[in-house]
Structure 1
Amino acid sequence: MTFTAEELDYLNSQPLARIATVGADGQPDVVPVGFEYDGAYFYVGGGLNPERTRKVVNVWNGRRQVALVIDDLPSTDPWSPRFLRVYGTAEVVERGGQFGAGTYLRITPTVSWSWHLDGRPVDADAFAPRRTEHTAA
């Protein structure tokens, strides 16, 4: 399965995500990142010195499971959070992207959840995220 039109619109409207990787000691590490989605993969820039960033080092060292969260808060009154969460596997690649040529993490989505992407107020009876299992590109 792929992302819905609503999910793609949301992804294209958001400039920032948070990525979580896992360190050698099992400690999760989460950082804010810019991202791109090309219809098959998410790309996250490796940073100015990718060989020193935890996200790249964690993936280089074989801990390829990652989580990516794209979220925002269109309103606080009424309370209206929305999100798209992606689990996937990452690999380190060299490419030209929105941050120029360099090291990127290429993330293959395996499962995703989206919730309240239309920005409507939270309804306690409507907390049912849409879950999608993704197939490899």
Structure 2
Amino acid sequence: MAFTEEEIAYMQSQPLARVATLSPHRQPDVVPLAFEYDGAHFWIGGGGQSVLKTRKFRNIGSGQLEVALVIDDMPSFEPFVARGIRIYGIAEQPIERVGMVGPGIYSRITPTVSWSWNLAGEPAGDTWYESHKTVHTQ
């Protein structure tokens, strides 16, 4: 399965994701960053060779390829409105390419499972938001 049109529209409306990686010692690290979705994969990275020195790329380079992304926002606190998408995926070793922030070093992430909630932006009401789970196949 793939992302729905609503999920893709939401992702395209958001400038940042939070990406979590694991160190070789299994220490989680999360960082906000710009991302690109090409219709099948996510791309993270940019800049020159210095991006390879960042913790996320050192973690991926060490073979810790399982990653998580969260793309979310809170359009309102009163009433309480939260919406977003959580994605598990597998990262690939970085390559040179031209991406959304220009030429640089990028890692491609293949989504494996995702959960989205409240993309329509409805107030929470008396219950928490129900999530929509998708298992992605390539």
Report which stretch shifted further, 42-51 or 4-13: 42-51
Normalised by the size of structure 1, how large is the TM-score? 0.94
Which amino acid is 1:125 matched to? T
Aligned-partner SS, 1:57: helix
1:71 has 2:69 as partner: no
- Which runs of no fewer than 5 residues in structure 2 stay unpaired? none
RMSD: 1.2
Report which stretch shifted further, 28-37 or 97-106: 97-106
Q: What is the aligned partner in structure 2 of residue 90 from structure 1?
A: 91
Cα distance between partner residues in 2 of 1:42 and 1:59: 14
Q: CA deviation at 1:47?
A: 5.0
Q: How does 1:40-119 map to 2 (within 5 A)?
A: 40-47=40-47, 49-91=50-92, 92-119=94-121
Aligned-partner SS, 1:108: strand
CA contact (8 A) 1:84 1:112 kept: yes
- Which runs of no fewer than 5 residues in structure 1 stay unpaired? none
Normalised by the size of structure 2, how large is the TM-score? 0.93
Which amino acid is 1:42 matched to? F
Report which stretch shifted further, 109-118 or 43-52: 43-52
Aligned-partner SS, 1:83: strand
Fraction of identical pairs, as percent: 54
Runs of 4+ displaced beyond 4 Å: none
